[in-house]
Amino acid sequence: MLRFMPVGDSQTIGSAGDHTWRHRLWQHLRTAYDGPFTFVGPRETLYDKAADAPVSLAYADPDFPRAHLAGWGEGWLHMAPLIGEAVRAHRADVLLVALGLIDLGFYTNAEQTAENVHRFVAGARAARPRVRMVLLPVIPNIRARQDPDFGAQVALFNDLLAKAAADLDEPRSPLLLASVPPTYDLATDTYDGTHPGPSGERKIAAAFAEAMEQGWGLGGPYAPGLSAPRDRP
């Protein structure tokens, strides 16, 4: 069984009422991937804004394998020390990583964040030498649009992430750089300028799906018509 581990910040963990891009990708893989698979990780919850804590299990689909390694307000800085044990304990085969916005917003500059990317990759490989990884750049967000200095840091980090993916790629533990969704629109794809709504979730899922299909022949092209029974209003 192929074991995927989603790793990310608030855009990945999602909050109560979200379906999350994790769910959208799982729906896609159920149709496009021709073998058994699941999602793994040490955490299962969604973030509950009312409680201001990741304590919600209010998933819309009870069959969804909800495991992940994602946290509201966590970035490369936080995940680099955790990834080795998580990969080892849950025997992850493929890491689906969407991090960076929190780091650049609160903790580290672009160069320091890129250093934590290297630490993360090294930690994952030390735990499982053949682990594969798909890295998503920081996607459009309201702060980058409104703050030119922050926008410049996002652009620089995304360049450094692309370089890291190329430099660290190796045959036994390949890395893929997913593409920023080209039509991602803050007005229609997010509900607050940062966190994805239903269409944004699908576009992020498509970015991961298309990277794996094009890079590894894993799965097929993302089918945009797939959706959960009830979307967030």
* pLDDT tens by residue, 125-143: 999 999 999 999 999 999 9
Beta pairing partners, 94: 4, 132
Mean pLDDT in runs of 10 for the chain (233 residues)? 98 91 96 95 94 88 91 98 98 98 98 98 98 98 97 98 98 98 96 96 97 95 61 44
- pLDDT at residue 180 in the model: 97
**Nearest alpha-carbon partner for 95 in 79, 108, 109:** 79
The enclosing H or E element of 97 equals strand 94-98
The enclosing H or E element of 47 equals strand 46-48
- pLDDT at residue 229 in the model: 41
- pLDDT at residue 59 in the model: 84
Domain 2-216 maps to which CATH number in 3.40.50.2300, 3.40.50.1100, 3.40.50.1110, 3.90.1560.10? 3.40.50.1110
**How many Cβ atoms from other residues are within 10 Å of residue 121's Cβ?**
24
**Nearest alpha-carbon partner for 209 in 13, 32, 64:** 32
**Treating both helix axes as pointing N-terminal to C-terminal, what angle do 110-127 and 83-90 enclose, rounded to 10 degrees?**
30
- pLDDT at residue 225 in the model: 59
Beta pairing partners, 132: 94
